[in-house]
Amino acid sequence: MSKILFVMTGADHWTLADGTKHPTGFWAEEAVAPYEAFTAAGHEVVVATPGGVEPTVDQGSLAPEFNGGPEGAEKVASALASLSALRHPVRLEDVRIDDYDAVFYPGGHGPMEDLAVNADSGRLLVAALKSGKPLAVVCHGPAALLAAVDEGGTNAFAGYRVAAFSNVEETQAGLAEKAKWLLETRLTEAGVDVRVSEPWAPYVVVDRNLVTGQNPASSAPLAAEVLKKLA
């Protein structure tokens, strides 16, 4: 059995360009699908957030239209309610990479607010990358990579192939024009080799020990790739 760390946003909003706070948090499917896959395979999941706050789910991610209808929405909500690790997170500030076998960052717009500028998360990502242990990040989770800067001021993920929520998807979701910055653009500016596929279709990129997914639909395929690495 492996011990997998879920690093999750502690934010319940995303500050837009005009200063308004867009309610958000983590995206349900991006936590539920990997959690179910990992625990079904016999692994343990520990959740960490900045300050050890209980993570907030983006209520939009529980809507039927994002879960294949009412039945799918009920299934995700039920799974989320049973995910006890979410209610007992450890403090991200206290996490040591040596205590875990893999690290996973789900998305939602929350990471754009806090993990993108969180130095503790940035140090953990650098350590995870150097460790060779599986490191998985999905959708808006790659915003956290922006804080992973090495001693020389270079982004630790520069040159890595990374899938992330695309500018096209952000535009289609209706938030691109309201955002302070766009994830695909900012990662590219940091030297990350961002790879994008069709909007909303599953897309996973594996580069060395780094496994990344573009959007919510990529969560389950991403988890499958992590399980291969842990086998």
Single-letter amino acid code for the residue at 90: V
- Which pLDDT does position 107 carry in this prediction? 98
- Which pLDDT does position 186 carry in this prediction? 98
Selection from 197, 175, 196, 172 nearest residue 184 by Cα: 196
Torsion of CA 6, 113, 200, 32, to 10 degrees: 30
- Which pLDDT does position 153 carry in this prediction? 85
Digits of tens for pLDDT over the chain (231 positions)? 999 999 999 999 999 999 999 999 999 999 999 999 999 999 999 999 999 999 999 999 999 999 999 999 999 999 999 999 999 999 999 999 999 999 999 999 999 999 999 999 999 999 999 999 999 999 999 999 999 998 888 999 999 999 999 999 999 999 999 999 999 999 999 999 999 999 999 999 999 999 999 999 999 999 999 999 999
